Structure 1
Amino acid sequence: MNQIRPAAVAGAFYPGESGVLMHDVKAMLAAAQAHPSGARTTPPKALIVPHAGYIYSGPIAASAYAQLIPARATIRRVVLLGPVHRVAVRGLALPGSVDSFETPLGIVPLDRQAMDSIADLPQVVDSPPAHAWEHSLEVQLPFLQQVLDDFSLVPLAVGDATPQEVAQVLERLWGGEETVIVISSDLSHYLPYDVAKRVDHGTAQAILALDAPVSHEQACGGTPVNGLLLAARHHRLAAQLLDLRNSGDTAGDRDRVVGYGAFAFFENRGHEH
C-alpha cells in the first residue's frame, strides 16, 4: 500500500487551494524570468533557496527555481535537504516507509533506490516524526512541481551533523545532469533591517567563495549549506547570487527581519577531466 506524507503546512506557509497555489507560483516564476540574473547556457547543479511563507520569501525562491525551467525534461531526481525545526535528530533523516509526498498540486514520488543507496551510512537515519510537520522541505515542492516534468524526490531532514557527513551523502547522490541538489535555508533571523542587510551580505560573500563554515546565526540551514559548500569545492562548482532580500523588503516590517538568499551552483566544464 502506497504511504503518503500529506501536506502539513498548506494553507499556512503557502495557499492550500490548488488553483490559487498554481497561480501564485506561476506568477512568481514569471516575475523572476522577467528579470533574469545573468546568462547561463547550462542549468545549475545545486540551489540554495529560502523556506519562509511565500508572501515573505517566495519571490526570492522563484529566482532560483526559474533556473531549472530549461532543464524541466532532463532533471528527473531532486535531492532536497533542509534543517529540522520541530523534531531533533542526529544526522540526516529519511522519512521511513513513506513512498511519496503530497501537496495541493499532486503527488511527488520518492526515489526509493537512491534512498537505499545511502541507508548504510551511519549518519543517515529514518525519522518519520522529523518529516511529519517539517516545512523547510515541503514549501519547496510546489515550485519543483511547476518547473519540472516527471521527477522523484530524495528528502533529507538535517539535524546534528558535520559538513563532512552531509557532503558524503551528497557525493553518493551526486549523479549527472538528471540530478539537482536543493538546499533549503533562510539567512539571518530577527535582526533590524540595516543590520540584517550587512550580515546577509557577508554570508552571501562566504557562500559565493564556497567558504564554509557558515554559522547557524548566519543561516538556519547552515549544516546542509556547509555540506554543499564542501561538495561544491570538491567538484569545482561556480556559485552565483540570484537574489538577496529580507522580509522587510517583501511583506514584513523592518524592526526584526528574516534574511533570504537564492544561489545557484554551476559545473565549470572547463575544469572537468
Structure 2
Amino acid sequence: MGVKKMALAGSWYPESAKHCRAFIQKVLDEPKTGEDTKNCPDPVAGIVPHAGWVYSGQLACRVFYALTHGSRVVDTIALFGVHMHASSPAFVLDCTAVDTPLGAIEIDKVLTETLVTQAAGKGVDLNVLTLNRFPEENTLELQYPFIKYFFPKSRIVVCAVPPSTEAHTLGQAIVDAAEQSGRSLTVVGSTDMTHYGPRFGFEPAGSGQAAFDWVARENDAAAIEALTAMDENQVIRQGQSRHNMCCAGAACAAVVAAKKMGAVKGVCLDYASSFDPSEPAADFVGYCGMVFSV
C-alpha cells in the first residue's frame, strides 16, 4: 500500500528527529499559561491548531501531552481535519503508514475499514483515497510528529470531515467502529480559529489592535465557548456564520465522538494568535488548544 511521505517537513515543522524532539521538550519545560493539564482528568479527545509550529506548535504539543494522561492505553488516534466546504465529500486515507521525522506511524487498516462500513450504515459515503490521491494537508501532517512522540505504539485513522451533518455522523461512527474493532480510541480534531485580514478577505473590525481585540475577545471567544460547552451544532454554526473555525467539521466530529465516549467537559488549555502589534495592518490567525475529559 505504501507509506505517505512528508511534504511540509523543513518548512512548517522541523525535518529532523533531533529538532522535533528539541521543540517538544522545550514546550514541556516552559512555564505554562492558561489551564494546566491537571484540570483535564481522563481526557479522550482534543482540538489542535495546525499553523506552522513556530506559530501554534506549542498549543498542539500541549494538547497531545494532555491526552497522554488518560486512564487507558491508546490503541489508535483518529485524526479529523482538512479544509472543506459543507458540500465537500468526506474521505479517509488508505495506505500502510504515514512518515514523520521520528519514524512512521502505521495506519489502522481494520479500524479504517470498519469506519467506512459504519459510516455507510449511517448514510455517509466515506471515500477511500490511496496515498497518491490523498491531498497534502497541513491540518493533518503537522500533527503526525506529535502523535509519534507521545503515542509511539499507537496507530492512526486519518479522515477529512466536511462542516455538515456528516460531521455528526462520522463522530458517532468512529466510536462505534472502535468498539466493534476492539480498539481503545482517542480522537483529535484539527482546526485554526479566525483568519483575519485582507489576505483572507475578512476584516469586519478594521485593522491593528482593535481588530485583534475583536477577534480574540468576541469572534474566537464565541467558538471556544461552543467547544467548551461541547455543543456540536453550535460548532458548525459558528464556523459557517462567524468564520472562526476553518475546519469546523473536524472540530464537530471530535466533539461528537468525545461525548459518545463519555466526555462531559471541554477545557481550553490556552489561546494564541499570529498577530504582531508591530505590524498593525498584517493578517493574522487565532489558535486554541482544547481537551475533552470524562
TM-score by length of 1: 0.84
Residue 225 of structure 2 corresponds to residue 197 of structure 1: no
SS at match of 1:210: coil
Letter in 1 for 2:91: A
Q: Could you tell me which of 162, 176, 180 is aligned with 2:186?
A: 180
Shift of 1:165: 2.5
Aligned to 1:75: 74
After TM superposition, the structure 1 stretch with the greater mean CA deviation from structure 2, 29-38 or 147-156, is: 29-38
Aligned-residue CA RMSD (Å): 2.9
Q: Where in structure 1 are there 5+ consecutive unaligned residues?
A: 268-273
5 Å-filtered alignment, 1:1-12, equals 2-12=1-11
Identical aligned pairs, as a percentage? 24
Task: Describe the shift of the 1:252–1:226 C-alpha distance in structure 2 as closer, same or farther (beyond 3 A).
Answer: farther
Question: What number of residue pairs does the alignment pair up?
Answer: 263
Task: Describe the shift of the 1:178–1:3 C-alpha distance in structure 2 as closer, same or farther (beyond 3 A).
Answer: same
SS at match of 2:30: helix
SS at match of 2:230: coil
Q: Could you tell me which of 234, 238, 244 is aligned with 1:213?
A: 234
Q: Do 2:14 and 2:20's aligned partners in 1 also have CA atoms closer than 8 Å?
A: yes
Task: Describe the shift of the 1:232–1:66 C-alpha distance in structure 2 as closer, same or farther (beyond 3 A).
Answer: closer
- Structure 1 distance, partners of 2:32, 2:214, is 30
Shift of 1:40: 4.4
5 Å-filtered alignment, 1:1-273, equals 2-31=1-30, 37=36, 39-40=38-39, 42-71=41-70, 74-84=73-83, 90-96=88-94, 98-120=95-117, 121=120, 122-128=124-130, 131-159=134-162, 161-162=164-165, 163-175=167-179, 178-191=184-197, 192-198=211-217, 199-211=219-231, 212-214=233-235, 215-216=239-240, 217-234=243-260, 235-248=262-275, 253=279, 255-267=282-294
SS at match of 1:194: helix
Task: Describe the shift of the 1:125–1:252 C-alpha distance in structure 2 as closer, same or farther (beyond 3 A).
Answer: farther
Task: Describe the shift of the 1:263–1:5 C-alpha distance in structure 2 as closer, same or farther (beyond 3 A).
Answer: same
Letter in 2 for 1:187: M
SS at match of 1:207: helix
TM-score by length of 2: 0.79
Q: Where in structure 2 are there 5+ consecutive unaligned residues?
A: 198-210
Q: Do 1:10 and 1:16's aligned partners in 2 also have CA atoms closer than 8 Å?
A: yes
Deviation sequence 1:137-163 (CA, Å, 0-9, x none) = 110011111112301001112246423
SS at match of 2:267: strand
Shift of 1:38: 5.0
Aligned to 1:271: none
